[in-house]
Every structure is written in structure tokens, then in C-alpha cells.
Structure 1
Amino acid sequence: MIAILVFMAVLAVIIGWWMAHQGLTTKPWLETGHIGELPRRQGSPVAAVKVGLGIFLAVVGALFTLLISAYLTRMDASDWWSIPVPRLLWVNTAVLAAGSIALQWGKTEVRRGRIEATQLALVIGLVAGVLFLCGQVLAWRQLVAAGYVVAENPSNSFFYMITGLHGLHILGGLAALGRTTSRAFSGVRRERLSLSVDLCAVYWHFMLVVWLVLFALLTGWANEFAGLCRALIT
């Protein structure tokens, strides 16, 4: 339980920090001055989109938190045999990280008005996402070929469910990233392109953090931390 609370707290801090940097913490009712000098404030569609993404990421974080909680609880059963993690997952992790770095680079370049560099960064991020999904499917096939099917053991079921659900979220991110890449090559206004790249980068960073947590869980790195939390509870 403590491990889950820590994970949720970290996610809340990350999302809260990001939303605070979108200008959502301003208090216009505290501003002073003459009536004619006060700036007119209207609902910003940009801010609304970013808030919407923040809420969505909070829901996704809560979903994976529940899965992690169920995983840690179920692994204490006597019928649990940990599934061997394919080495390919290390490569997939590096590929996903490379895509996240590329999108952060694209976010910087589009703000500088360097459209060609932005296009290259988006293509790299798109290719990295596709390679990650292909690598995950290949890892599944390796495990199935070795006899680790879904119904054989609860550990197998959790592995396929967790990695599959994360892959679906990456697939959804690829759809948005593909649309953004298309806009970059179609000559859309830099302001609109900058917003799209920013949202894609935030989403990709978030999914990378979630995957790193899941990867640590699946490889057993999180077992010692979970054991410490259980010792603190008891």
C-alpha cells in the first residue's frame, strides 16, 4: 500500500508541476489597478487542451497504479512463478527513451522556428514509437515460443496485460504524433504546431516514466522496495 501511495504521490507531483507551469495558478481577482488597465482574461483554448491532457494522464496514472497494486498483491500467492523478461525489453526501453528525447528536441526547435529540425525530430519520435511496439510484439512471440503462454501462470497473464495496455497507450500516442508530423510537413502555423508538439512530448515523457516503473516491476527491481513497504506496514 505504501508503494502505491508513493507512486501516486510522484505522479500527482509531476502532473501538478506541469499544470502549474501552464499559467493555471494565476489569481486574476488579486490583481490591482484601474479598471481600464486590467487585462481582459478569457478562456484560453490552449490552456483548456493542456488541462484536458493533464486530466487524462491522471486517469491513466491511476489505472496503472491499480494494476501495479494488483500485481504486488498477487505475486505473494503460492502459484506465482515469475516470467523471465526477454533481453529485447532493454532495447525497447532504450528506443522509447530515444523517442522521448527526440520529441523534447522537437519541442525546443519548433519554439525557435526551425521547422526542418522539428520535422526531423517528429519523424525520429514516430519511428521510435513504431519500433518500440514492434519490439514488444517480438518479445511476446519469443515468450510464447518458449512456452510462456497467457493462461499457464498468473505472472504470465499480468505480463501480457500490463505490457499490452501500455502498448495500446503508445499506439494512441502514435496516432496523435502522426497527425502532428503531418501538420509539420503541410505548412501549418508555427503556433499550432508548437502546441501539438508540446502535447505529444508531454504524453511521451509520461508514458516513458510509466514504462520505466513497469519495467522495474517486471524485472524484479521493485520487489525489494515492495518488501520494505510490507515490512513497514507489519
Structure 2
Amino acid sequence: MNVTLIFLAAIAAIIIWWLAGQRLTSKPWLETGSVQLPDHVGTERPAPAVKIGLFVFLGVVGAVFSLAVSAYFMRAASADWWATPVPRLLWVNTAALALSSAALQWARREALHGRVERLRPALAVAFALAVLFLAGQIQAWRELTAAGYVLADNPANSFFYMLTGLHGLHILGGLAVLGHTTLRAFATDIASDRLSLSVDLSAIYSHFMLAVWLLLFVLFAGWANDFVDLCRTLLS
């Protein structure tokens, strides 16, 4: 439960920090004497509605995973719980997802500067690495089932397949958007504002799903309880 609260607090802190950066709490009707300047003078543009919607969606996704992790901890206290071994392939998958997120951050920077010729390979690399992550997850499932760790064998297996499958579905949804963005980048010679926004949203989504996967990986590896014990020791 403590891990769940820490995760929810981290998500809330990130959302509040971003909203503060977008100046969504300002009251323009109380600011007298101000003059609206053109966009090219350096004024800060308000956040697009689709970006705000993405953060709201990520907040909901974070809550869903937090509830699932909370259920994982409560169920793990039962006598019929046998921990599922972590396939070594998950280390490779984690590296692939981290590199995909890094490639999208690279693409985000190139789109900001309008360098389409550098944006295209960055998007292609990010897409390929995300596909590699999903393929690796499926292979990890096959290794576990071949070793006898089937879905209905014990609750730990069920949670492993459920959480990794739920995360994989979210990665698949992000891949659909990223694929469309990549095709648009190869079809144009100029990084338009709409294309830059799509790259920005894909990068934010990828970073969030990487953070969720790192939490799940720590959970499956059995390091979460050690982390909580360390926090308790430091606070006591």
C-alpha cells in the first residue's frame, strides 16, 4: 500500500508541476492594463486542449495501475502465493523501452527546431524499439508458460500476465499514434506545429509508460518491499 501511495504522490506532483508551468491557475480577468501581444513577440502560448486531455488520461491510467499494484500487495500476503520468476529477457525489454523513450525525446528536440531530416530517423528508431519491446514481452510469456508458469497455476502468475498484458495494450495504443506520426513525418518536408505537437504527445506518453513499466519491473523483481523498508528506515 505504501508503494501505491508513493506512486500516486509522484503522479500528482508531476501533473501539478506541469499545470503550474502552463499557467493554468492564472486569472487573466484580474490582470488589468495588459496588452495581448502577437505570438512572435515571445509570449507563451496556452497549452493545447489535447495536451491537457492527455495528462488527464495519464492520471486515470496511473490510478488504474496503482489500484492493480495495491491489489497485488494485498494478494501477495496470502498463503497460496508463489512468486513468479522474472525472465532474463525482461532486462532486454526494459532496455528497449528505455531507448525508445530516449529516441522520442530526441525526436521531440528535432521537431522543436524544425529539423525533419533528423526527426524521421528518431521516430523510426523509437517505433522499432517499442515494437521490439512488445515482441520481447510475448516471448517472455512463452518462456514462462513453457516452464510451467501458466495463468491459472497461482495468483502470482495471474497478476504477472494481467499487469504486463495491460501495460502492453497501452504500449500498443501508443504505437498506433506513433506510427501515424512517423508516416506524417516522412510525408512532409516541413515540421508543422501539428506534427510537432504529435511528437510531443508521443514523447510524454512514452515517458509515462516507461515509468509505469519500471515500477512493475521493480515489483516483479521483488525489490519493492526492500525499497519500502529502506524508506521506513530513513524516516524513522
Please report the TM-score for the alignment, with normalisation by the length of structure 1: 0.90
Q: CA contact under 8 A between 1:99 and 1:126: conserved in structure 2?
A: yes
User: Greater shift after overlay, 183-192 or 113-122?
Assistant: 183-192
Q: Which amino acid aligns with 1:179?
A: H
Change (3 A) 1:69 1:228: farther
Within a 5 Å distance, the mapping from 1:90-169 to structure 2 comes to: 90-169=91-170
Give deviations 1:71-97, integer Å, cap 9, x for gaps: 011001000000100000000000000
Q: Which amino acid aligns with 1:84?
A: P
Give deviations 1:173-192, integer Å, cap 9, x for gaps: 00000010011111165211
Offset of residue 22 of structure 1: 3.1
Q: Which amino acid aligns with 2:138?
A: V
Offset of residue 67 of structure 1: 0.4
Q: CA contact under 8 A between 1:86 and 1:139: conserved in structure 2?
A: yes
Change (3 A) 1:151 1:180: same
Q: CA contact under 8 A between 2:3 and 2:224: conserved in structure 1?
A: no
Within a 5 Å distance, the mapping from 1:171-190 to structure 2 comes to: 171-187=172-188, 189-190=191-192
Q: Distance in 2 between matches of 1:126 and 1:20?
A: 31
Residue 203 of structure 1 is matched in structure 2 by 205
Q: Distance in 2 between matches of 1:31 and 1:140?
A: 58
Q: Percent identity?
A: 61
The number of aligned residues is 226
Change (3 A) 1:49 1:30: same
Q: CA contact under 8 A between 1:149 and 1:156: conserved in structure 2?
A: yes
Change (3 A) 1:75 1:163: same
Extract structure 1 runs of 4+ deviating beyond 6 A.
228-231
Q: Distance in 2 between matches of 1:112 and 1:228?
A: 43
Residue 214 of structure 1 is matched in structure 2 by 216
Give deviations 1:110-162, integer Å, cap 9, x for gaps: 11111011111100110011000000000000000000000000000000000
Q: Which amino acid aligns with 1:4?
A: T
Within a 5 Å distance, the mapping from 1:39-58 to structure 2 comes to: 47-58=48-59
Give deviations 1:194-221, integer Å, cap 9, x for gaps: 1000000000000000000010000000
Q: Which amino acid aligns with 2:52?
A: V
Q: Distance in 1 between matches of 2:205 and 2:18?
A: 12
Residue 42 of structure 2 is matched in structure 1 by none
Residue 191 of structure 1 is matched in structure 2 by 193
Residue 225 of structure 1 is matched in structure 2 by 227
Give deviations 1:14-48, integer Å, cap 9, x for gaps: 122223333423331232216xx3569xxx89521
Q: Distance in 2 between matches of 1:189 and 1:222?
A: 42
Q: Which amino acid aligns with 1:77?
A: S
Residue 29 of structure 1 is matched in structure 2 by 29
Q: CA contact under 8 A between 1:126 and 1:177: conserved in structure 2?
A: yes
SS at 1:63 equivalent:
helix
Change (3 A) 1:77 1:199: same
Q: CA contact under 8 A between 1:3 and 1:229: conserved in structure 2?
A: no
Offset of residue 229 of structure 1: 8.1
Q: What is the root-mean-square deviation in Å for CA atoms of aligned residues?
A: 2.1
Unaligned runs of 5+ in 2: 39-44
